[in-house]
Structure 1
Amino acid sequence: MPRFSVIVPAYEVQPYLSDCLRSVLEQDFTDLELIAVDDHSPDACGAIIDEAAERDPRVRAVHLAENVGLGRARNAGIRRATGDYLLFLDGDDTLAPGSLRAIADRLARTGEPQVLVFDYARVDWTGDVVRNVRADLLREGDPGSVRQVFRLDQRPELLRLLMVAWNKAYRRDFVRAEGFAFPPGFYEDTPWTFPVLLSAESIAVLDRVCVHYRQRRRGGILRTTSRRHLDVFDQYDRVFRFLGARPELAHWHPALFRRMVDHLGVIAAAPDRLPVRARAEFFRRAGAHHRRYRPHGAAIPPGRARLRCLLLRLGAHRAYRLLRGGDRMRRSVVALAPVVYARLRASVLWVHYRVQLCLPLDPRLAVFAAYWHKGYACHPAAIEAKVRELVPGARTAWITTPAYSHTLPPGVRRLHPGSAAYWTALARARFLVNNVNFTPGMRKRPGQIHLQTHHGTPLKHMGLDLRDRPAAARGMDFGKLLERVDRWDYSLSANRHTTLVWERVYPSGYTTLPYGSPRDDVFQHATEDDVTRLRARLGIPAGTVAVLYAPTHRDYQRRPVPRLDPERVARALGPGFTLLVRPHYFSAWGGAMGKAGGRVLDVSGYGRVEELCLAADALLTDYSSIMFDYANLDRPIVIHADDWDAYRAARGTYFDITAAPPGPVSRTEDELIALFATGAWCGPRSAALRAAFRARFCPYDDGRAAERVVRRVFLGEPHELLPPVVPLAERRPAPAAARATPNGADQPVEARTAPRAGVVCTPAPPAPAPAASPVASPTASPAASLTHRSRPR
């Protein structure tokens, strides 16, 4: 008996059916049967199902002799099902990766409820993915809470969810005992879902997107003009007959009546569902249903909803449509008003900015920003803190939105993007610091100093190198880019590789500052106690190896798709490992993860990536620039390069990271698991690769990068008098977490026993420090220190 019976009816969905079937069969949870029902489809659906059945014995092909409709096709699948739980999936939709595993885990944790409700996301035909707007109704509650499993009376708000069959798992013995079946006709989910939820003695929820609900441009039932939309009245007759046969459920009558009225209103307002000649009949029948099922003493909705309800009850379809037209016009006016206001406000602010440009610069004011106003972070944050420490009388302001105001330290003024104060500061600040570019509307004044810090050592192509990479450039205006580059007075660089790239792809007359990465200064100053406190704050279980998984963005993908399954990796590695998952800030898949028994922690919302690095015993990444930062900690790094060829072809890279990596490289998820299970992630070869990588990319990161920047840019000290760079061999970065060993001594993570395979990771002897390069010392010859452009600005 399989755990799940996944029932997929198919009728005229041949372009999508293969993807649908694959999404089920390629799940990492394999204890399933897939019952694919060919509803006598005139296209190739039957052949696609048969081909899938030949390839995979878990597929059971069912061919109906005549077209019976979606509901009865599902019934045919139910009759053949043998699984513990039933799931339904329409032939043009797909299961999200890892969904069955998450459903199985949730069912086990909640004691095998009769119904499990999970979430979905709409996938538009353009490729845009939008999660269910009522996802908040699926909150799971605290583990062990009585609210983990409940009856509908305890959480009646679930009736506000979309009433469909495919966002739930149903215990098969419950369905069989109650005799539930789908009726014929459109809206067949209605007389199935309401009775199921009302009858279930145990319901649980899973706060995770498990189904991708395809929104077809044409051909979907809800976008088809047909008299069959009148079937909705027969479906609600079935719902209320069911209610009448169960006196103990009579108290649900008002709620179901409200849902019916809302549903009928949606159909009536849809422009293309009802043929013109069927509209009058629809309203007559809607009025009859309203009068027949309205409970005695039912509350009358307020305002315009009350008028719409009255017109629906009276069957006045022309007046109803006129009212809906008026509502649409009102919404259009309401939507237009902010546009008019925004344009008027922009005009007033433009005049304000022009006036501010005529006023003197404030020599003590420095304005900072990072990551398109997403809070206090990166190199600008480290420099801002050092400015307040070293520059007497300096006043600093940070551009960010209220959502990130909590990230600002005390004493730093917040500037709201686009406000009058924001434009005043941009016009009058002496110093401007950013890791991306400021707004195109800003005018650089004589006397202003603009420091561009960037936000990482470049592996992927940047700037002008994207001219031949349209997938990555995405319509970038390179002329405007160079105009913004011409504002820069200083460009920060962490190593020689970065200097050579920046000066070629961002050509202008700025001065390069080869001073290191200010955001990484903390790695040289943090203590073992700091690491311990960070791990406790993040909830990392004591004694486990914390692996920070930080992948980068894929330009060749329209929407973010996880490159590996963190939950599977965590389960494979066992309780000795904890994964900290931080997707790229362009991505949004982190919050959709499960917990894998508490060994996968979603840290996508954690503000300071440097603190995550300090807490982690190892880094797992692909092509993210975080590897260049993490190398300063001299802790293990693993590269997961499953799509290296595709990434390299789409984005372009400056060198082959798989040929000169900072640590072991995996190409598949199984290879990655093996690297950790065998101890290769922290073995001698890992240490040797990391040593060469550090020598190449971390020459200046000695903990004083921010100080050198502030002294040079803000205090005007000559380059020759700046603090000298500490050689690699003399640096002492923050230690990784340690735990007691059987003999009572403390050992670092690299000396621990791998929990899965019993492999001891013995640290390799320190690699000999590379000879100090002249360019690494600020006291070297002028040709090897600050890089100046020969071309005038």
Structure 2
Amino acid sequence: MPETGLRSAPRFSIVVPVYNVQGYLRECLNSLLAQDFTDFEVIAVDDCSLDGSGGILAEYAARDPRVLTVRHEENRGIGAARNTGVDRASGDYLLFLDSDDTLTTGALRAMADRLAGAADPDLLLFDHVRSYWWHAVQPSAARELLAGAGSEVFRPAERTEFFQMFAVVWNRAFRRCFFVDNGFRYTDGLYEDALMVYTTMLTAERALCLDHACVDYRQRRHGNSMKTPGRKHFTIFEQYQRLFAFLDGRPDLAALRPLFFERMISHFLFTGARESRVLVQDRPEFFRRAAEMYRRHKPAGFTPPAEVDARQFQALERGSYRLFQAGELMSRTRKNGQERLRAARGALSKRASGSYYRKQLKRPLDPHLAVFSAYWNRTPSCNPLAVHEKAKELAPHLHGVWVVREDLADTVPDGMDHVVVNSPRYWEVMARATYFVNNVNFADGVVKRPGQIHLQTHHGTPLKRMGIDQQQYPAAAKGMSMRKLLARADRWDLSLSANQHTTEQWERVYPCDFESVDAGYPRNDVFFRTGARDVLDIRARLGIAPGATAVLYAPTVRDYQVGYVPQLDLEKITRELGPEFVLLVRTHYFYGQDPHLQELQERGALIDVSRHPSVEELCLAADALVTDYSSIMFDYANLDRPIVTYADDWETYVRSRGVTFDLLSGEPGDTPGAIATDEDELIEAFRSGRWDDQAAAELRAAFRARFCMWDDGHAAERVVSRVFLGDQHPAPAPLPLAARTPAPSPREAARIVAGAAPVPAGDGAPDRPGAELTG
């Protein structure tokens, strides 16, 4: 087990077991390292994660000596990971924090202050809150109990009301010597928390309470092992058998056996009644095992307390599954299940209201039919188009059909099969296709059938907040139903990503059960497969004069504004930069044509490329990019050409939309090049040469390393292989950044065509005579 980091003797050792939580791990670690009480160590145990969690841990360990990382070479479970953390710990107190939860602000300070005057008790019990994906926060049921204890130090076995607290290990701190000297070890399987909580509470001589909510317990919409049904939930019987074996060895605790018997049976009933834990077909056996435990451990003279359902206890005592099913709890669960089924059927009926669609849904799937769409059924473009083109080459057995709006049907390239939205053939292909590829979501009315595979390609790297994060920004979420958004995202099987940052964001802000495909964006393959003559031909078609420096200005949409509001005086910019520069202006696709831009174009002041069908061609034609917060910066960075950030309303944008990192920090990896916050500063950046100097190049290199991780010209091949071909066509791993050769810049292209410079070797360089001129 390799480990990294430095050791110390801190007040707290915080053990964080980690397994496939890349979407949440940074938030967890940030909550620890931002604590104002700093005398702690973090022992993060990577339980052989298959995602990017290990890389995130290595990154944090490299920059903060308080972070110690350990990796299991095989997955051993959360209990084993916690044990490994305990073995490495050196602090006075042990804290256990799950890697998708966080510590609240001031948590460690509150713990340290409470412990300071209590002569190191064995346990410190503290409060928590639950937070939900819709950003609701719920206090715990133990808040008043903890507050009522004040600063009293007590023996837990004598204060049984504290056994009613949520039986988890992360809402308490354990004195390390107490924990280790008594030989406490986590067991395998689920429900290990309850066993550890009860045995440590029964052993401890001195405990203390803190009514500060120290942990934010995230209620994940998907991915919580406790909400995934299966046989693993039968481990609950083994855990409670261990608890009663512990009690057998402690005759001094005999008076507490009825309490723990009631706790055990209530836990069985709670678990067995939930479809999210025990499958319907497994319930008879679950009941039988629960009944055996009831008879084996029932204390003499036990009577169910008033607060529980006595009928359920009686059913277990008699071993009557029929009586058990008839009980109120099971009836309520069954009723809820029936209501959900009726709701689902009603929704299906509503979505598939057309009789033709309903009929098509009964027909078998076509294993060779794939449906493509982009930007809400606009002209074929972006990642879906690149995937479609590569699929024609590598998977010719597939038949691709594009979904387009009726008013854009005449823009579909000749020979490309397409259907118009809501036409009869549209409903047929939507019902029978096996594959669905889109860079947004398909319409709510589309029913996902078993066997259908949805690939969400997305259409950018998220600087701005997306998904459930938008709930915190009313301007961004206006008119949006988050529940409907997530219902659409629930149809995704695969989610495409261009870099680790994006993968982490998608997995957190779309809490759905999809698999990330870390392949790069296929639309960017063209940046590595375009030759010098093609670059010059694109410029000629756009009307860019030979030798001119073309600057592509591509701002993003502003959620806090209505309609297109220019952020720049474009006429002033073009006048001040002079004739050697030409400005290509592309407004966001949400906006219609702008009369002022058309007027400036007619006067020769700039070139309006807002309706140009290929943004990739515009990038290839440009010597430099000026943008604000648009995701085009991440794509353009692949070309290794200058990027200037024009951010005149950064604070307003951050408040209204939110961002995932500080674009203007000037730190390597955050900022892609020169920054301008007003028009004069932008003009100065070009006049002084700051737009393309050494400092800008160094920032761009760090930005590319962070955000161009997997774009190398083979992204579409990797996607087609993963989605359509599987093991039949192993895809190449992404090339190292230094081994990639993007398309030549316009100046380089001119020299190449003129024969003044050789073509550099590399993946992007052509390998046949003359190819460097044709692309």
Does the 8 Å CA contact 2:671/2:699 hold for their aligned counterparts? yes
The one-letter code sitting in structure 2 at the alignment partner of 1:731 is R
> Structure 1 residues 552 and 746 mapped into 2: Cα distance closer, same or farther (>3 Å)?
farther
> Structure 1 residues 577 and 367 mapped into 2: Cα distance closer, same or farther (>3 Å)?
same
The one-letter code sitting in structure 2 at the alignment partner of 1:408 is V
2:617 pairs, out of 611, 621, 624, with 611
2:608 pairs, out of 602, 612, 637, with 602
> Structure 1 residues 387 and 568 mapped into 2: Cα distance closer, same or farther (>3 Å)?
same
The one-letter code sitting in structure 2 at the alignment partner of 1:595 is L
Q: Structure 1: how far apart are the matches of 2:727 and 2:705?
A: 28
Report the counterpart of residue 473 of structure 2 in structure 1: 469
Corresponding residue SS for 1:716: helix
Report the counterpart of residue 543 of structure 1 in structure 2: 547
The one-letter code sitting in structure 2 at the alignment partner of 1:733 is P
Q: Structure 2: how far apart are the matches of 1:695 and 1:414?
A: 38
> Structure 1 residues 497 and 614 mapped into 2: Cα distance closer, same or farther (>3 Å)?
same
> Structure 1 residues 621 and 747 mapped into 2: Cα distance closer, same or farther (>3 Å)?
farther
- Within a 5 Å distance, the mapping from 1:181-196 to structure 2 comes to none
Report the counterpart of residue 588 of structure 1 in structure 2: 592
Does the 8 Å CA contact 2:548/2:581 hold for their aligned counterparts? yes
- The answer on 1:689 being equivalent to 2:694 is no
Q: Structure 2: how far apart are the matches of 1:510 and 1:667?
A: 39
What does the per-residue CA deviation read over 1:536-576, in whole Å, with 9 as the maximum and x for residues that have no partner?
11111111001110000000112220000222111111110
Report the counterpart of residue 666 of structure 1 in structure 2: 676
Does the 8 Å CA contact 1:617/1:737 hold for their aligned counterparts? yes
Report the counterpart of residue 712 of structure 2 in structure 1: 702
- Within a 5 Å distance, the mapping from 1:229-628 to structure 2 comes to 350-588=354-592, 590-593=594-597, 594-595=599-600, 597-628=603-634
In structure 1, runs of 5+ residues without a counterpart are 1-345, 749-793
Q: Structure 1: how far apart are the matches of 2:354 and 2:450?
A: 19
1:641 pairs, out of 644, 647, 651, with 647
Alpha-carbon shift at residue 747 of structure 1 (Å): 8.6
What does the per-residue CA deviation read over 1:466-514, in whole Å, with 9 as the maximum and x for residues that have no partner?
1111110012111111111111110001111001100001011111000
The one-letter code sitting in structure 2 at the alignment partner of 1:695 is A
Provide the identity percentage. 55
What does the per-residue CA deviation read over 1:576-622, in whole Å, with 9 as the maximum and x for residues that have no partner?
01111000111235442233652400011111101110111111100
Alpha-carbon shift at residue 408 of structure 1 (Å): 3.0
Corresponding residue SS for 2:726: coil
Corresponding residue SS for 1:398: strand
Alpha-carbon shift at residue 417 of structure 1 (Å): 1.0
- Within a 5 Å distance, the mapping from 1:188-207 to structure 2 comes to none
Alpha-carbon shift at residue 524 of structure 1 (Å): 0.3
Q: Structure 2: how far apart are the matches of 1:590 and 1:728?
A: 39
Does the 8 Å CA contact 1:712/1:718 hold for their aligned counterparts? no
Corresponding residue SS for 2:376: helix
Alpha-carbon shift at residue 725 of structure 1 (Å): 1.2
Q: Structure 2: how far apart are the matches of 1:357 and 1:677?
A: 62
Alpha-carbon shift at residue 401 of structure 1 (Å): 2.5
Q: Structure 1: how far apart are the matches of 2:725 and 2:735?
A: 22
Q: Structure 1: how far apart are the matches of 2:383 and 2:680?
A: 36
1:723 pairs, out of 718, 729, 732, with 732
Q: Structure 1: how far apart are the matches of 2:621 and 2:371?
A: 30
Q: Structure 2: how far apart are the matches of 1:348 and 1:616?
A: 47
Q: Structure 1: how far apart are the matches of 2:410 and 2:393?
A: 21
Q: Structure 1: how far apart are the matches of 2:582 and 2:492?
A: 42
> Structure 1 residues 388 and 411 mapped into 2: Cα distance closer, same or farther (>3 Å)?
farther
Corresponding residue SS for 1:548: strand
The one-letter code sitting in structure 2 at the alignment partner of 1:735 is P
Alpha-carbon shift at residue 726 of structure 1 (Å): 1.0
Does the 8 Å CA contact 2:409/2:420 hold for their aligned counterparts? no
The one-letter code sitting in structure 2 at the alignment partner of 1:676 is F
Q: Structure 1: how far apart are the matches of 2:595 and 2:739?
A: 41
Q: Structure 2: how far apart are the matches of 1:664 and 1:736?
A: 19
* Greater shift in the superposed pair: 612-621 or 395-404: 395-404
Report the counterpart of residue 732 of structure 1 in structure 2: 741
The one-letter code sitting in structure 2 at the alignment partner of 1:646 is T
Q: Structure 2: how far apart are the matches of 1:347 and 1:370?
A: 22
Corresponding residue SS for 1:738: helix
Q: Structure 2: how far apart are the matches of 1:677 and 1:729?
A: 31
Report the counterpart of residue 690 of structure 2 in structure 1: 680
Q: Structure 1: how far apart are the matches of 2:709 and 2:508?
A: 21
Corresponding residue SS for 1:371: coil
What does the per-residue CA deviation read over 1:352-405, in whole Å, with 9 as the maximum and x for residues that have no partner?
111100001111110000101111111001001111111132111111124433
Alpha-carbon shift at residue 348 of structure 1 (Å): 10
Does the 8 Å CA contact 2:626/2:644 hold for their aligned counterparts? yes
Q: Structure 2: how far apart are the matches of 1:689 and 1:718?
A: 40
Does the 8 Å CA contact 2:584/2:606 hold for their aligned counterparts? yes
Q: Structure 2: how far apart are the matches of 1:450 and 1:472?
A: 26
The one-letter code sitting in structure 2 at the alignment partner of 1:389 is E
* Greater shift in the superposed pair: 635-644 or 592-601: 592-601
Alpha-carbon shift at residue 421 of structure 1 (Å): 1.0
Q: Structure 2: how far apart are the matches of 1:497 and 1:480?
A: 25
Report the counterpart of residue 277 of structure 1 in structure 2: none
Q: Structure 1: how far apart are the matches of 2:460 and 2:447?
A: 26
Report the counterpart of residue 139 of structure 1 in structure 2: none
Does the 8 Å CA contact 2:676/2:682 hold for their aligned counterparts? yes
The one-letter code sitting in structure 1 at the alignment partner of 2:745 is A
What does the per-residue CA deviation read over 1:290-349, in whole Å, with 9 as the maximum and x for residues that have no partner?
xxxxxxxxxxxxxxxxxxxxxxxxxxxxxxxxxxxxxxxxxxxxxxxxxxxxxxxx9997
What does the per-residue CA deviation read over 1:163-200, in whole Å, with 9 as the maximum and x for residues that have no partner?
xxxxxxxxxxxxxxxxxxxxxxxxxxxxxxxxxxxxxx
The one-letter code sitting in structure 1 at the alignment partner of 2:642 is P
Corresponding residue SS for 1:363: strand
Does the 8 Å CA contact 1:380/1:453 hold for their aligned counterparts? yes
List, as ranges, runs of 4+ consecutive aligned residues in structure 1 with deviation greater than 6 Å: 346-349
The one-letter code sitting in structure 2 at the alignment partner of 1:484 is R
TM-score by length of 2: 0.50
> Structure 1 residues 587 and 480 mapped into 2: Cα distance closer, same or farther (>3 Å)?
same
The one-letter code sitting in structure 2 at the alignment partner of 1:651 is R
Q: Structure 2: how far apart are the matches of 1:682 and 1:348?
A: 56
> Structure 1 residues 478 and 347 mapped into 2: Cα distance closer, same or farther (>3 Å)?
closer
Does the 8 Å CA contact 1:738/1:747 hold for their aligned counterparts? no
Q: Structure 2: how far apart are the matches of 1:642 and 1:745?
A: 42
> Structure 1 residues 723 and 637 mapped into 2: Cα distance closer, same or farther (>3 Å)?
same
Does the 8 Å CA contact 1:560/1:589 hold for their aligned counterparts? no
Does the 8 Å CA contact 1:492/1:514 hold for their aligned counterparts? yes
Report the counterpart of residue 205 of structure 2 in structure 1: none
TM-score by length of 1: 0.49
RMSD of equivalent CA atoms? 2.1
What does the per-residue CA deviation read over 1:251-271, in whole Å, with 9 as the maximum and x for residues that have no partner?
xxxxxxxxxxxxxxxxxxxxx
Report the counterpart of residue 650 of structure 1 in structure 2: 656
